[in-house]
Amino acid sequence: MAQLLREVQSLRVAIRKTQKQCMELWRPHIRQRSFLSSASNLAAYLGLRRHDLRHLQCRLGNLGLSSLGRSEAHVLASLDAIVHILKIISGKSLSPKNLTRASATMACAEDFIKRHTNRLFGLPPTHRWARIMVTFPSEAASDYLFVRELVLRGMDCARINCAHDDRATWQRMVEFVRQAEQETGRSCKILMDLAGPKLRTGPVIPGPAVIHLKPKRDLRGNFTQAASVILDGSGNPGRPAERDGLGRRIPARLAVNAEWQEQLQHGDAIRFVDTRNRQRELTVLNRISRNEVMASCDEGAYLRPGIELACHHSKHGAPALTLVEDIAAQPRPIILYQGDVLQLTRAPILGEPPGMDEDGNTLIPAHISCIQPEVFSHLKPGHRVWIDDGRIGAVVEALNDEGALLRVTQARTEGEKLHPEKGLNFPDSELNFPALTEKDLRDLDFVAAHADMVGYSFVQSAQDMEQLIAELATRGGSKIGIVAKIETRKGLRNLPEIIIRGSGRHPFGVMIARGDLAVEIGYARMAEIQEEILWLCEAAHVPVIWATQVLEGLVKQNFPSRAEMTDAAMAERAECVMLNKGPFVLDAIAVLDNVVEKMQAHQQKKSSQLRALHW
């Protein structure tokens, strides 16, 4: 027992030494005195975790004293409590006040976490502690009832991604959130996420300008529902059918002559010969607006610009003729298989699939550009490359005048489609791009005027944090909350310094951006690293946002996997859980709200609450 006491006391001395060294470096950067005790505990936690404590933990646990595994928020107080109890067991005299003091310090640490979280997100709902954040689709700018329903269902924070849309769209989103707050009586903060220096693929050569009308059929091929198409006389190019950010199906559009379109009436038959030389017919259903008429097609058809449309009016008259006008060509996907070669180009040339001979042999490899050509000076043969959030894996085989020659090492058996504007990750390459791009600086003007929080994408160092703080100050944003998105190895390595600079001056939180981070560090390490981030932030009394693919199957397809439900339950240990955009996000909010409420009765951070079970 005496030996165990000496080991714990020696550990405390070593921790205090590390704590003192860290605080000497950090104190000049902490402007908010209320954060000093949290910073001091973070420094103590770093000192604690620089030791391998497994053997000590086991021995303390055998005495029923093991509390170091839950000491993140109150490191020295936990050690002091163990020291005091060991002294009592050893027969040494000790005042009970020492234990009382340690217990009070632990209780204060929990108050610090709640205080810092409330400072960033506002007060929580009455029935759960963790907040729910939802990423807005573009349609949130045109559908107020959707935004209102998000707030009613339990959205506590709306995320606006500045990588998409424009200021006018963001303005309408902000106005809708503020209106929904007033009407529902629920508070909803706004996080505006800066795009950051995200590396992406360049444009791809367009495919054929063709619109495919595709009626629905059952498993036997029998007709069940006609294909819808809008005949558009506005002058805008035609577009294939698609789904919007809320999952709603948008019919295909055919651009036609305005005067011809204005003569169309309900029941008119429009006949044409499609690209396959097949006779097809459209039936006019109803007029949507002056420039738009809805029609249907009972058989599959392919249309291109220049095809003649002959309208046979339902009541009288000879056929009126017009031509299909411009169609917006869609990017032609590049399909890659494991073992394929891909040329990543410096020059901003349009990407293309591989050139093949008559026997299917590759003559010219597929190519696509990287929109930041500076990256090539940091690449070396053997470096890994991940594309589209890790869907495609590759390795640099060689560098050449055009750029880098990549060998595909990971792709599904049926191949992976490579599209433009997809993310590129280079986990083995030390890239040193500015954390704030020119676009970010322009967007900060709007963010500082309208947002409650700013999401700092790809922040990697204390200097990056200082730059954002300075830029916010020049825009009158000294009280805006900052959320540091940890997405890279370097950002992970510098997380303590990032926390100190951010929390020392602003309301502050950390987002575990598991998409890019998993690609950077490897999926096998993601479970381990997200735990370490949670521990480090708890030591600093800093709130955490658990992000990326939470209930993704439910959000996108209305059916969650069992693994996703377990992930959502574990997310309760964070102070905020983020849902992505998708057609079933309203249902996902209800499920997440229920899961988080139930789980908080069982656990608080790493501590089991031991609620009574029903056996």
Q: Quick one: 127 and 96 in the same domain?
A: no
Q: Is the pLDDT of residue 280 over 70?
A: yes
Range of the domain at 11: 2-115
* Average pLDDT, rounded, for the chain: 92
- Rg (Cα) of the chain, in Å, rounded? 30
Tokens, residue 9:
């006391």
Question: Given this model, what pLDDT does residue 330 score?
Answer: 85
Question: Given this model, what pLDDT does residue 614 score?
Answer: 77
Residue 563 covered by a domain: yes
Residue 483 covered by a domain: no
Q: Quick one: 346 and 384 in the same domain?
A: yes
Amino acid at 576: C
Residue 213 CA to residue 272 CA, distance in Å, equals 13
Q: Is the pLDDT of residue 100 over 80?
A: no
Tokens, residue 261:
């379109």
Please, what sign has the CA dihedral across residues 459, 463, 466, 471?
A: negative
Domains contained in the chain, number: 4
Strand partners, 424: 387
- Cβ atoms of 508 and 116 within 8 Å: the answer is yes
CATH number at residue 591: 3.20.20.60
Average pLDDT over residues 226-238: 94
Backbone angle region of 212, left / alpha / beta, with phi > 0 → left and psi within -120 to 50 → alpha = beta
Q: Quick one: 224 and 184 in the same domain?
A: no
How do strand 424-425 and strand 384-387 relate by DSSP bridges? antiparallel
Close Cβ partners of 401 (under 8 Å, ≥ 6 residues apart): none
- Cβ atoms of 291 and 258 within 8 Å: the answer is yes
Over residues 10-47, the pLDDT tens digits come to 999 999 999 999 999 999 999 988 899 999 999 999 99
Residue 47 covered by a domain: yes
Question: Given this model, what pLDDT does residue 422 score?
Answer: 93
The 3-class SS string of 375-399 reads HHHHCCCCCEEEECCCCEEEEEEEE
Strand partners, 511: 485, 545
Residue 184 covered by a domain: yes
Question: Given this model, what pLDDT does residue 137 score?
Answer: 94
Question: Given this model, what pLDDT does residue 316 score?
Answer: 58
Question: Given this model, what pLDDT does residue 317 score?
Answer: 62
Residue 516 covered by a domain: no
Tokens, residue 585:
């996000």
Q: Quick one: 246 and 344 in the same domain?
A: no
Q: Quick one: 418 and 400 in the same domain?
A: yes
CATH number at residue 367: 2.40.33.10
Last residue of a domain, one of 388, 407, 425: 425
Over residues 45-94, the pLDDT tens digits come to 999 999 999 999 888 888 888 678 889 999 999 999 888 888 888 887 66
Last residue of a domain, one of 115, 149, 181: 115
Residue 145 covered by a domain: yes
Residue 514 covered by a domain: no
Q: Quick one: 339 and 418 in the same domain?
A: yes
Q: Quick one: 6 and 73 in the same domain?
A: yes
Question: Given this model, what pLDDT does residue 220 score?
Answer: 83
Closest by CA to 336, choosing from 418, 256, 280, 265, is 418
Over residues 463-494, the pLDDT tens digits come to 999 999 999 999 999 999 999 999 999 999 99
Q: Quick one: 227 and 309 in the same domain?
A: yes
Residue 105 CA to residue 79 CA, distance in Å, equals 12
pTM of the complete model: 0.89
Q: Quick one: 309 and 362 in the same domain?
A: no
Last residue of a domain, one of 378, 409, 425: 425
Q: Quick one: 145 and 67 in the same domain?
A: no
Tell me how far apart the 2 most distant CA atoms of the chain are, in Å. Answer: 111
Least-confidence region, from 89-98, 326-335, 340-349, 480-489: 89-98
Q: In what order do the strands lie in the sheet with 366-369?
A: 366-369, 341-345, 403-410, 392-400, 384-387, 424-425
Q: Is 483 exposed, middle or buried (0-12, 13-18, 19+ CB in 10 A)?
A: buried
Residue 559 covered by a domain: yes
Q: Quick one: 132 and 107 in the same domain?
A: no
Q: Quick one: 308 and 226 in the same domain?
A: yes
Closest by CA to 574, choosing from 520, 521, 527, 535, is 535
